[in-house]
Amino acid sequence: MAFQETIMDRDRLFARLDEFKIETPSWGFADTGTRFGKFLQPAAASTIDEKLADAGTVHKYTGCCPTVAVHVLWDFSVGVDATATAALAAKNGIRIGSINPNLFQDQLYKFGSACSPDERAIAHAGQHVMDCIAIAKAVKSDLLSLWFADGTNYPGQDDLTTRKRRMHGALRQWHDAMPPGMTMLVEYKPFEPAFYHTDIADWGMAYAFARSAGPDAKVLVDTGHHLQGQNIEHIVAFLLDEEMLGGFHFNDRKYADDDLTLGSIDPYAVFRIFHEIRNAAEWHEKDVSKIAYMVDQSHNLKPKMEAMIQTVTTAQELYTKACLVDRAKLRDAQTRMNIVDAEECLRTAFFTDAKPLLAEWRKKHNLDPDPMAAYRASGYETRVAKEREDSRAARGVRAGGSYA
């Protein structure tokens, strides 16, 4: 189906695309794997310099990834000047985005961090978050993104209500320590690494914790963190109406928290999420400009950079399709209670080829209309593979990476 100017003119669509910025994760450029092992890639980034170079390169070809998320312990060693890292990001044409504390790897966190029955673990977590806030200030980031591995493995292991209260206490304290203008994002996950109960298991708990933490705390929806069959777009619509949607971690899944490429398993579900965001903006006068769109993927087998470019362009395509929903027609069909006509409004937009429109948008921004082809033609991967192998050899380190 051809693009209909009547639904949304190009200028309006292109303005929407200009606003649609996606943050790449530093850890998405590093070697990752599963608990069964890692398959190393010569071109994978193993230093923050290399990760920033990769993130800058993705932005150079896509034009929509101006920030990179960092995981504090993986990207900042103790004593390293965070402002130097921010300067390095700027040199690569990007900025440091969300700051992700690491509240799960220290031995002290065996029974949790903020919810641990061990007061030393709570104090350690609190100190780490204060350090993260200081890093955020130094790099001029306004997002503190919290994910907890807290939970228990066996019924009776700890008191669920007491743990809930510990989490409330920690989040309130950390919220109060944030400077004005900083937002705290609270992520949820139904299970893993804890297998019996997770302290922030779903969006409702994240909502309650964020609400009680203070006005600058919002919910982060990681698309992979739901039980099978969960209607994610409904959660998104609900949170938007409550003005509690802080952002997303993009990835796709088939079984659990698989961290696969966004839209690789169910692109229609991603489209439906974007559709609810456009509904909130266009029908319900919600400000959707502050939503933080972030990628949280683990490219275990795909070449890292290609996987990231594929993710970002897929997100743009699905967002464009959601912008193309004929909302006047949809309203009319809903008013007439004609289910088939209403559903067809969504299907028609979803099956529209967004690629030519995105090619035009890219040309307008002096970008190559085909970011993947342009990236491949640049020879970046072959070049950095050689450089990074040499530099790892010179430093006497094996390829590795940050996590899993």
Residue found by looking up tokens 């990231």 in the block:
308
296 binds ligand RM4 (CB under 6 A): yes
What mask of x and - would describe binding to ligand RM4 in positions 96 to 115, judged by CB under 6 A?
A: ----x---------------
What mask of x and - would describe binding to ligand RM4 in positions 200 to 239, judged by CB under 6 A?
A: ----------------------x-----------------
Task: Please state whether the peptide bond connecting residue 155 to the residue before it is cis, i.e. omega within 30 degrees of 0.
Answer: no
Q: Considering the complex, what minimum distance in angstroms separates the CB of residue 29 from ligand RM4?
A: 14
Q: Considering the complex, what minimum distance in angstroms separates the CB of residue 249 from ligand RM4?
A: 5
Residues that bind Mn ion (CB under 5 A): 222, 249, 257, 296
Q: Considering the complex, what minimum distance in angstroms separates the CB of residue 246 from Mn ion?
A: 12
Distance, C-alpha 162 to centroid of its chain: 30
Which DSSP string do the residues of 270-308 spell out, in sequence order?
HHHHHHHHHHHHHTS----TT-EEEE----SSS-HHHHH
92 binds ligand RM4 (CB under 6 A): no
Q: Considering the complex, what minimum distance in angstroms separates the CB of residue 258 from Mn ion?
A: 9
Task: Quote the tokens at residue 37.
Answer: 């092992």
Closest to ligand RM4 by CB, 23 or 326: 23
Q: Considering the complex, what minimum distance in angstroms separates the CB of residue 170 from Mn ion?
A: 19
Binds 253: which of ligand RM4, Mn ion, none (CB < 5-8 Å by kind):
none
Residues 3-62 that bind ligand RM4 (CB under 6 A): none
Closest to Mn ion by CB, 146 or 346: 146
Q: Considering the complex, what minimum distance in angstroms separates the CB of residue 296 from ligand RM4?
A: 5
| Phi/psi of residue 215, nearest 5 degrees | -65, -20
Separation between Cα atoms, residue 268 and residue 349, nearest integer Å: 11
Binds 100: which of ligand RM4, Mn ion, none (CB < 5-8 Å by kind):
ligand RM4
Separation between Cα atoms, residue 288 and residue 286, nearest integer Å: 6
187 binds ligand RM4 (CB under 6 A): yes
Q: Considering the complex, what minimum distance in angstroms separates the CB of residue 193 from ligand RM4?
A: 9
Non-local CB neighbours of 218 within 8 Å, separated by 6+ positions: 183, 184, 185, 186, 210, 244, 245, 246, 247
Closest to ligand RM4 by CB, 221 or 239: 221
Separation between Cα atoms, residue 155 and residue 185, nearest integer Å: 29
Q: Is residue 384 within 8 Å of 43, Cβ to Cβ? A: yes
Q: Is residue 68 within 8 Å of 51, Cβ to Cβ? A: yes
Exactly one of 147, 188, 203, 250 binds ligand RM4 (CB under 6 A); which one?
Answer: 147
CA proximity to 270, closest of 355, 349, 204, 187: 349
Closest to ligand RM4 by CB, 178 or 295: 295
Angle at 315 between CA 267 and CA 401, to 5 degrees: 100
Q: Which residues contact ligand RM4 by CB under 6 A?
A: 100, 147, 187, 189, 222, 249, 257, 296, 403
